Amino acid sequence: MTSDAHQHHPGRSGHHPDRHGDRPSDPAQFWEQHYGALAEDWGTRPNASLVRLVEEHAVVPPGPGAPALDLGAGHGGDAVWLAARGWSVTAVDVSTTALGRVDALAAAHAVGDAVTTERHDLAASMPQGPFSLVTASFFQTPLDLDRDAVLHRASRTVGHGGWLLVVDHAAAPSWAGPDHGHEFPTAAETLEGIGLGDGWVVERCERVTRTGTSPEGQQGELVDNLLVARRL
């Protein structure tokens, strides 16, 4: 993957103080406003770290059309990439604008039959599963959300033999400057917060640095937390 395949999610870089008094507190309103301000081709490529995890850990469908769940699907880059590799993907977001763009992207890549979109406020509801794969790429938000609880519930939708892949921002991009106001969990803190319990093998839990490109085209460093767990 090229370094600019990373799609930075403004406002998903970890918990931080809300320094914008006009920011909506309602998740649906916030993310509708967020996605409505983005170009439609934003986020249409898979996240580089997710691609790395899938390829390095040989995460493949156990059978044709095996079910996968993509949390916070955005514009669908991850979901469509997974569908092209044989998964039957349920792409979830709270924004109807985002989900409409996922549908359009899936159709454009001829995987519309393999991608289903569902609107959920994940603090309140989630697809039931079981899934052979659950992914969460940069599922971080400035809003009040018990992210650990959401990821814990998501882990419970993974069937036996299935995978949980979590990619987080571990630091602000190098071009953000020192006064970015964000706080980030470590990979170990994310793993502890999810509370997988018995019956899992954690294959990866680490912090990695890679090259990225800012929205303005500036080259710099990106730091991600990578978590790979397999349910026995």
pLDDT at 11: 30
Least confident of 17-21, 76-80, 95-99, 198-202: 17-21
pLDDT at position 145 is: 82
Band of pLDDT at residue 33, cut at 50, 70 and 90? confident
Report the pLDDT value the prediction gives residue 214, as an integer from 0 to 100: 79
CATH 3.20.20.370 fits 25-37+46-58+122-231, yes or no: no
Q: How many residues does the chain have?
A: 232
Lowest mean pLDDT of 105-119, 161-175, 190-204, name the range. Answer: 161-175
